[in-house]
């Protein structure tokens, strides 16, 4: 009974807090990147994201993630 309650709390926490917060952060980062001048320009956003230098993965992640496109 207690384990079922824990699972339900975890599911509710994920659906009520984490997913909306992730969406809020994504929209905020897109707004910060685009600014007022290019607010609805998705081509500008993809160009800005593609032009950013991405940091190298940490040494412990070698072989787990790929840095090549």
Q: What is the pLDDT of residues 29-40, one digit of tens each?
A: 999 988 999 889
Question: Tokens for 67?
Answer: 């840095």
Residues counted in the chain: 69
Mean pLDDT across the chain: 83
For 24, counting Cβ atoms within 10 Å of its Cβ (0-12 exposed, 13-18 middle, 19+ buried), the class is exposed
**What integer pLDDT is reported at residue 69 of this predicted model?**
52
Quick one: average pLDDT of 2-9?
Answer: 80
Residue 59 CA to residue 66 CA, distance in Å, equals: 12
Torsion on CA atoms 22, 25, 29, 32, rounded to nearest 10: 160
Q: What is the pTM of this model?
A: 0.55
Whether pLDDT at 64 is above 90: no
């Amino acid at each position: 009974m207690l384990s079922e309650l824990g699972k339900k709390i975890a599911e509710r926490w994920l659906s009520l807090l984490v997913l909306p917060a992730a969406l809020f952060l994504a929209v905020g980062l897109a707004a910060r990147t685009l600014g007022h001048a290019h607010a609805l320009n998705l081509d500008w956003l993809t160009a800005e994201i593609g032009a950013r230098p991405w940091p190298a993965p940490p040494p412990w992640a070698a072989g787990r993630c790929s840095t090549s496109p």
